[in-house]
Amino acid sequence: MEFKTAGVLFCLVFVAVRVSSSGLEVNLTRTWKQDIGWEINCTWELPPRDYLQSVRLYLNRQQFMIFRPEIDGLERSLMIRRLEDGVVTNCGISSVDRRRGSCVITSELYQPQNNSFTLQCEVSGERPTFIMEKKTIVVDNFVPPSDAVLTRVRSLNDVSDRVTLNCSASGIPSPNLTWTIGSQKMPHEFKGTAWNVTSKLWDVWSIVSYTPRSDLTAVCTPEATYKGEPVNGHSAQYNSAAIEKGALTSIITVLAVLYLCRLR
C-alpha cells in the first residue's frame, strides 16, 4: 500500500518537472581543478526552432555577466579580479547547433577560500515565448582530504629504538590527521598547516614517534566533515615488520646474485 502511494507521488513529481522545463534544459555543475580552483559549467539546450536570447550569470545573487549572441556573436569572455580570486568566464554557443551552448566560469584562488559562494545561470530563449530556466549551485569551501602520505623521519635526536613518522595530506579546510598505533589512538607530537599557493589547498602534516614492534601497525587517517558527515582520505600505514621483511628479501636477492656470479 505504502509502496503504491510512493509510486503515484513519484509520477506526479516527474510530470511536474517535465511540464515546467518546457523543453529548455540547463545543467549547472562544479568541479575542483587541481592547481587552479573551482570550475563551474553551465550548459543548455533549447527546444527545436528556438534560439538563445540571453544568459545571465549571478555571483552571490548579483549579476556579473550577460551573454547575448545577437550583440556578442558566438562567444563572450570576461575577467573579474577579486581579493581572493580571479574569475574568468567564457560563454559561447555551438556554431554547429545554435540551440546548444555553455558558460564556463573558473575561479582561480589567490588566497585561501574562506566562504562558500552561490552561482546562478539563467538561460532565456527568443521571442515570442522567452522560455526561461534558472539553475543555482552552491560552491562550498570544501575539498575532500587527499590520501595520507607517510614518511619516516630520520633525525639525530631519534632515540635508537624509536621510529618517528610524518604523515601529510591536504584539503579545504585543512584535514585533521588522526593516529592509531596498534589499537590505541595516539596524540601527535607536532603538527603544521600551510596554504599551498600551487595546489590552492591546505597542506597539513603531523608527527608521532613510538617504539616499533612487529605486531604494531601505525595508521594515519586524514579526516574532515562535510554537512555533518565524516569524509576521510585513505589511511597510510607503517609496520616495522613489513620493512624488515623487505630488507630480508633484498639481502636474499643480493646473496643469490653473488652466488650466481661465483658460479660463472
Ligand X SMILES: *[C@@H]1O[C@H](CO)[C@@H](O)[C@H](O)[C@H]1NC(C)=O
Q: Give the chain as a 3 state SS string.
A: CHHHHHHHHHHHHHHHHHHHHCCCEEEEEEEEECCCEEEEEEEEECCCCCCEEEEEEEECCEEEEEECHHHHCCEEEEEEECCCEEEEEEEEECCCCCCEEEEEEEEEECCCCCCCEEEEEEEEECCCCCCEEEEEEEECCCECCCCCEEEEECCCCCCCCCEEEEEEEEEECCCEEEEEECCEEECCCEEEEEECCCCCCEEEEEEEEECCCCCCEEEEEEEEEECCEEEECCCEEEEHHHHHHHHHHHHHHHHHHHHHHHHC
Query: Which of 56/168 has CB closer to ligand X?
Result: 168
Minimal distance, residue 220 CB to ligand X, in Å: 11
Minimal distance, residue 83 CB to ligand X, in Å: 5
Give the footprint of ligand X on this chain (CB under 6 A).
Answer: 25, 27, 35, 41, 43-45, 83-84, 102, 104, 111-112, 114, 153, 166, 168, 173, 175-176, 196, 198-199, 203, 205, 207, 224-225
Minimal distance, residue 104 CB to ligand X, in Å: 4
Minimal distance, residue 12 CB to ligand X, in Å: 22
Minimal distance, residue 248 CB to ligand X, in Å: 28
Minimal distance, residue 225 CB to ligand X, in Å: 5
Query: Which of 14/248 has CB closer to ligand X?
Result: 14
Query: Which of 185/264 has CB closer to ligand X?
Result: 185
Query: Which of 35/70 has CB closer to ligand X?
Result: 35
Query: Which of 89/176 has CB closer to ligand X?
Result: 176
Query: What does the alpha-carbon distance between residue 111 and residue 183 come to, in Å, rounded to a whole number?
Result: 39
Query: Which of 112/126 has CB closer to ligand X?
Result: 112
